[in-house]
Amino acid sequence: MARAIDPRRKALNTAIAWTIGIMIFFPILWTFLTSFKTEAQAIADPPVFFLFDWTTENYRAVQERSDYFRHFWNSVVISVGSTLIGLAIAIPAAWSMAFVPGRHTKNILMWMLSTKMLPPVGVLVPIYLIFRDLSLLDTQVGLIIVLTLINLPIIVWMLYTYFREIPAEILEAARMDGASLRSEVLYILLPMAVPGIASTMLLNIILAWNEAFWTLNLTAARAAPLTAFIASYSSPEGLFYAKLSAASTMAIAPILIMGWFSQKQLVRGLTFGAVK
Amino acid sequence: MGRMTLHGVTKNFGETEVIRPLDLEIEDGEFVVFVGPSGCGKSTLLRLIAGLEDVTDGRIEIDGRDATGVPPARRGLAMVFQSYALYPHMTVRRNIAFPMRMAGLDKAEQNRRIEAAAAALNLTDYLDRRPGQLSGGQRQRVAIGRAIVREPAAFLFDEPLSNLDAALRVGMRREISELHTRLKTTMVYVTHDQVEAMTMADKIVVLQHGVIEQVGSPLDLYRAPRNLFVAGFIGSPKMNLMTGAEAERRGAATMGIRPEHIAASPTQGAWQGTVGVAEHLGSDTFFHVHLDGRAEPVTVRAGGEVSLHHGDTIHLTPDESRIHRFDAQGLRIA
């Protein structure tokens, strides 16, 4: 029997949920509002909410001062590129770990995950020096390589989890039906794992898009993505909150829109296998 | 052609010996059933033949050629799995077409074989559906269709009916038998159900702990079980096995008598006892009888009209010519 719902309790729960939701969303909303204020209104005390003179001046200023589209394009190339290369490496890796596990598969998986526990700054100097010697500093290729490597453990883990949900008998049936390893992966495994692969891809594009430590440290101008674009509006030149907010809004808008449209896919992928 | 020979085939998983060195001949066109309790190695043996597992030692020949190291795709065998293992993202038509697509058959020939298989298996109306939209029996027929169109040297069935309900199982059992009669292709069939084994097989291979206990036709196994394990495993209800004075009197450590080879009478007989449980099936009645001075009840098969009930006195007479005798090692005494 379904539990009876007390209307007062339901109203209270709804109010709490909305409050928490708004609290989480508030910084983004505030950034968005500030981007339409003048610099004076942005630092006004008490702060102004909606009742200010809305202006798009900041957006014009930001675009004039720095080339948004170049940064945007760098972000696209770096995040999509690193995700696709990551997938190309991770799909065979996850396949072998899920379907032909060896004695050390579990250890390898844990070891891969453990690399994510290392503070990135710990390897900044060696990587910086390697990049310098290989002329990879401030290049898209360099960033694609480093972001592929840092996100690879997550991609492998996610795909491994999805692949484990696919019954091995189906792949064996394909083998009995005369499929080569390539056909087995291409025609059977990948189509069945599409929800998992899609959500892995989306999540990693988002992670790579938002990655700031390596993108800020390994780029200067040419390959700088949107994270560097935002950072260029922070402190050294004084307080330009309104312009910083405009830059931030422009930087997060594409990924926010993508996330919004793919949220169903993301949720489905992230809960894949939770309920049979 | 689908003649298979296994020479000293062994399989270990780590330290565990799943299949002890084993020899077996499967003739072309034969319907061979591997039967045994769960964990006896019958599915592993089938997977070794299929190539889905590598042998630890020994050789597998298919049609005279050494197939031991040949990958499953190139052994020319088709397999039907317990879980059906259909491709969920493909329609029935594409599921059945898959092996032909892999073999590079031209489209016209593919379609001809799909139509023929679908007609034979009553799947014509379902060709554009996905496996998720089919019932268990239909899914199993798709799996069989997918195996047929390859025109394989032999079919391998891994407990194909155990996910179906009882009524469907009987129907599918007959369909597979008819398929064998029609195609005359070698079939190797794994089951834990001795009724399936008895009704379908030309040859039964009884396995226990990775060892072949006996190979023979269903009636050979029924009439002359080689040891106590086969005696107890083949036949339903199980053979009654007795030790003690009755066995010794007949020169055996253990004697066996099947429920259908004991005559029951309310008035006279060699043994006297009381009826424990009486199962009235209509055509037959099974009595579980507690004999005086024996702990284990004896099962007796009587006609459907015999009306004895719980607590009644019953007299039993075994058919002496149908008594099986076993020595202290559990082996049959000729």
- Which of A170, A177, A191 is closest, CB to CB, to B102? A177
Which among B53, B54, B79 is the top mutation candidate for probing chain A, defined by the most A β-carbons within 10 Å of its own β-carbon?
Answer: B79
Query: Does residue A116 sit in the same domain as residue A169?
Result: yes
Query: Does residue A207 sit in the same domain as residue A147?
Result: yes
Which among A177, A182, A192 is the top mutation candidate for probing chain B, defined by the most B β-carbons within 10 Å of its own β-carbon?
Answer: A177
**Do B73 and A170 lie within an 8 Å CB cutoff?**
no
Spatial separation of the C-alpha atoms in residues A187 and A190, rounded to whole Å:
7
User: Cβ of B213: how many Cβ atoms within 10 Å?
Assistant: 21
**pLDDT reading at A236 higher than 70:** no
A79 Cα to chain B: minimum distance (Å):
30
How do residues B14-61 score in pLDDT, each as one tens digit? 889 999 999 999 999 999 999 999 989 999 999 999 999 999 999 999
How do residues B233-257 score in pLDDT, each as one tens digit? 999 899 999 998 888 999 999 999 9
The domain locations on chain B are 4-231, 257-326
Query: Does residue A180 sit in the same domain as residue A210?
Result: yes
**pLDDT reading at A66 higher than 70:** yes
Spatial separation of the C-alpha atoms in residues B292 and A148, rounded to whole Å:
80
A178 Cα to chain B: minimum distance (Å):
4
A99 touches chain B (CB under 8 A): no
Residue A73 lies in a domain: yes
Strands B16-26 and B31-35, bridge-based pairing: unpaired
Mean pLDDT score of chain A, rounded to an integer?
A: 87
- Which of A172, A179, A192 is closest, CB to CB, to B102? A179
How do residues A132-159 score in pLDDT, each as one tens digit? 999 999 999 999 999 999 999 999 999 9
Give me B118's structure tokens. 């679908």
Range of the domain at A185: 68-232
Give domain B4-231's CATH superfamily: P-loop containing nucleotide triphosphate hydrolases (3.40.50.300)
pLDDT value of residue B54:
93
Spatial separation of the C-alpha atoms in residues B196 and B31, rounded to whole Å:
12
Q: Give the total residue count for chain A.
A: 276
- Give the pLDDT band of residue B77 (cuts 50, 70, 90): very high
Query: Does residue A35 sit in the same domain as residue A86?
Result: no
- Just give the CATH number of B257-326: 2.40.50.140
pLDDT value of residue A271:
60
Query: Does residue A79 sit in the same domain as residue A32?
Result: no
Count of domains forming chain A: 2
Spatial separation of the C-alpha atoms in residues B201 and B10, rounded to whole Å:
24
In chain B, the largest separation of any two C-alpha atoms, in whole Å, equals 74
pLDDT value of residue B47:
95
B20 Cα to chain A: minimum distance (Å):
24
Query: Does residue A76 sit in the same domain as residue A208?
Result: yes
A192 Cα to chain B: minimum distance (Å):
7
Spatial separation of the C-alpha atoms in residues A268 and B152, rounded to whole Å:
40
Query: Does residue A11 sit in the same domain as residue A47?
Result: yes
**Do B87 and A180 lie within an 8 Å CB cutoff?**
no
pLDDT value of residue A44:
78
In chain A, the largest separation of any two C-alpha atoms, in whole Å, equals 73
CB neighbour list of residue B157: distance below 8 Å, 6 or more residues apart: B79, B80, B176, B187, B188, B189, B190
**Which is nearest to B234 in space by CA: B224, B249, B244?**
B224
A177 touches chain B (CB under 8 A): yes
Chain A CB contacts of B82 under 8 Å are 169
Spatial separation of the C-alpha atoms in residues A160 and A112, rounded to whole Å:
12
Query: Does residue A73 sit in the same domain as residue A160?
Result: yes
How do residues B268-325 score in pLDDT, each as one tens digit? 889 999 999 999 888 999 999 998 878 889 999 998 888 888 999 999 999 999 999 9
**pLDDT reading at A273 higher than 50:** no
pLDDT value of residue B166:
85
**pLDDT reading at A81 higher than 90:** yes
**Do B81 and A187 lie within an 8 Å CB cutoff?**
no
Q: B58 in the Ramachandran plot: left (φ > 0), alpha (ψ -120 to 50) or beta?
A: left
Reduced to 3 states (helix: H, G, I; strand: E, B; else coil), residue A137 is coil
B157 vs A271, higher pLDDT: B157
**pLDDT reading at A274 higher than 70:** no
B102 vs A239, higher pLDDT: B102
pLDDT value of residue A270:
62
Give me B334's structure tokens. 């000729």
User: Cβ of B332: how many Cβ atoms within 10 Å?
Assistant: 18
How do residues B172-212 score in pLDDT, each as one tens digit? 899 899 999 999 999 999 999 989 999 999 999 999 999 99
pLDDT value of residue B58:
94
* DSSP one-letter string for B223-258: H--SBHHHHHHSSSSPPEEEESHHHHHTT-SEEEE-
User: Cβ of B256: how many Cβ atoms within 10 Å?
Assistant: 23
pLDDT value of residue B231:
95
- Which of B71, B81, B89 is closest, CB to CB, to A169? B81
Q: Give the total residue count for chain B.
A: 334
B47 Cα to chain A: minimum distance (Å):
10
Spatial separation of the C-alpha atoms in residues B11 and B51, rounded to whole Å:
12
Query: Does residue A139 sit in the same domain as residue A100?
Result: yes
pLDDT value of residue A257:
87
The pTM of this model reads 0.80
CATH of residue A215: 1.10.3720.10
| Mean pLDDT within A20-30 | 92
B57 Cα to chain A: minimum distance (Å):
20
Chain B CB contacts of A173 under 8 Å are 79, 81, 85-87, 146
- Give the pLDDT band of residue A275 (cuts 50, 70, 90): very low
Query: Does residue A222 sit in the same domain as residue A149?
Result: yes
Query: Does residue A97 sit in the same domain as residue A226?
Result: yes
pLDDT value of residue A268:
67
- Which of A169, A177, A192 is closest, CB to CB, to B98? A177
Which among B13, B43, B53, B81 is the top mutation candidate for probing chain A, defined by the most A β-carbons within 10 Å of its own β-carbon?
Answer: B81
**Which is nearest to A114 in space by CA: A62, A157, A167, A80?**
A157
| Mean pLDDT within A195-218 | 89
Query: Does residue A79 sit in the same domain as residue A44?
Result: no
- Give the pLDDT band of residue A1 (cuts 50, 70, 90): low
**Do A177 and B74 lie within an 8 Å CB cutoff?**
no
Q: Please give the ipTM for the structure prediction.
A: 0.85
Residue A139 lies in a domain: yes
Give me B154's structure tokens. 């032999």
Task: Annotate A228-253 with three-state secondary structure.
Answer: HHHHCCCHHHCCCHHHHHHHHHHHHH
Task: Annotate A73-114 with three-state secondary structure.
Answer: HHHHHHHHHHHHHHHHHHHHHHHHHHHCCCCCHHHHHHHHHH
User: Cβ of B28: how many Cβ atoms within 10 Å?
Assistant: 14
Q: What angle do CA A200, A201, A207 make, to 5 degrees?
A: 90
How do residues A157-172 score in pLDDT, each as one tens digit? 999 998 998 888 999 9
Mean pLDDT score of chain B, rounded to an integer?
A: 92
Residue A242 lies in a domain: no
Give chain B's contact residues with A (Cβ, < 8 Å).
50, 52, 71-74, 77-79, 81-83, 85-89, 98-99, 102-103, 146, 150, 156
pLDDT value of residue A276:
35
Q: Which residue does chain B place closest to A182, by CA atoms?
A: B102
